[in-house]
Chains A and B, each alone.
Chain A
Amino acid sequence: MPENLIFSKKEIAFLRELERQNVEFMLVGAAAAALQGAPVVTQDVDLWFEDLKDPGIQTALRKSGGIMVPSFGQNPPTFAGDAVKLFDIVLTMHGLESFAQEKKNSFTVRLGTVDVNVLNLDRIIASKEAIRRPKDLLVLPVLRDTLRTLSWKKMKDAAPKTLKGRKG
């Protein structure tokens, strides 16, 4: 299965269990941008959770063999263990509305056997424009060009096709 080329069986099991537990989460960040066609690279997959205290997260972690390391000092909470180390926890998307609001700006992608919500590229850009970390500023021109390319293609695909060579 194609999903196995990206995610290990344990990682897939974790995502599937989040889905089964009805945990509200969505893919954000560079991985979400890449899914939409942005030519960017990333080392991890950012998951934005509506409520990190959702017991479904702990159930999914327990079933897949991962753990959550609570925040300490300046460090946000993180996942640990083979099943979940690819995933980064996102608590807040700077510059955006609440999770529930932004869910309206997401779409569903089937990754192998798991359905996941993915935040729209324009909202990822809005967040990066708000947070303005050096790494965000570096990738922003690429994301903006991707968004413009998508818009251009969408407009062209929606335009009625002209029939060449036909008269009247």
Chain B
Amino acid sequence: MRLSGDNIKKLCGVRNLSLNALLKRAGVSKTAYYHLIDKESVLPRSIDALAAALGVRSSALLEEADRKSRRALRLLETADRIAGSDPSMDRDNIRHTLLLLEEKPIERLRRSLLRARKPDLQ
């Protein structure tokens, strides 16, 4: 999976950013950027090998991480909206509640009980 210089430039254009400004904002040196652009694949060789062995594109192996990240972002956005609707609420309470609501009730109880128990200290 290659890094697309064209896509990056297009995205910069949409955001009215120069490539230099983007690299500065991201804390990525020009050397590192052009090194990545020149690479046949930005993924570790082992990921490409796994994908080849499975007969799928490397991106198919990355989907799960993307989905998790999108889910986490959606949850944070929801927490922000709820906190925005009532400033007296604690954002962490909202976030933890939303996280727990994604679990089954029995799992919520399990966490509640386990976290109250002291771990054995060695």
Are B116 and A43 in contact, with the CB atoms below 8 A?
yes
Are B93 and A146 in contact, with the CB atoms below 8 A?
yes
Contact of A145 (CB < 8 Å), options: B90, B105, B110: B90
Are A35 and B105 in contact, with the CB atoms below 8 A?
yes
Chain B residue, CB-CB nearest to A43: B116
Which residues on the A side are within 8 Å of B82 (C-beta)? 148-149, 152
Interface: B4 (CB within 8 A): no
Number of chain B interface residues as a range: 20 to 34
Chain B residue, CB-CB nearest to A35: B105
Are A2 and B105 in contact, with the CB atoms below 8 A?
no
Q: Within the complex, what minimum Cβ distance (angstroms) separates B92 from chain A? A: 8
By DSSP majority rule, is chain A's interface helix, strand, loop, or mixed? helix
Q: Within the complex, what minimum Cβ distance (angstroms) separates A15 from chain B? A: 12
Chain B residue, CB-CB nearest to A39: B96
Number of chain A interface residues as a range: 20 to 34
Chain B residue, CB-CB nearest to A149: B97
* Interface residues in A145-161 (C-beta closer than 8 Å to B): 145-146, 148-150, 152-153
**What residues make up the interface of B, taking CB atoms closer than 8 Å to A?**
82, 85-86, 89-90, 93-94, 96-101, 104-113, 115-117
**What residues make up the interface of A, taking CB atoms closer than 8 Å to B?**
2-3, 5-6, 30-31, 34-43, 45, 109, 111-112, 141-142, 145-146, 148-150, 152-153
Residue pairs across A and B with Cβ atoms less than 8 A apart, 21 shown, are: A2-B107, A3-B106, A34-B108, A34-B113, A35-B105, A37-B100, A38-B100, A39-B93, A39-B100, A41-B112, A41-B115, A41-B116, A42-B116, A43-B113, A45-B109, A111-B105, A141-B93, A145-B94, A148-B89, A149-B101, A150-B101
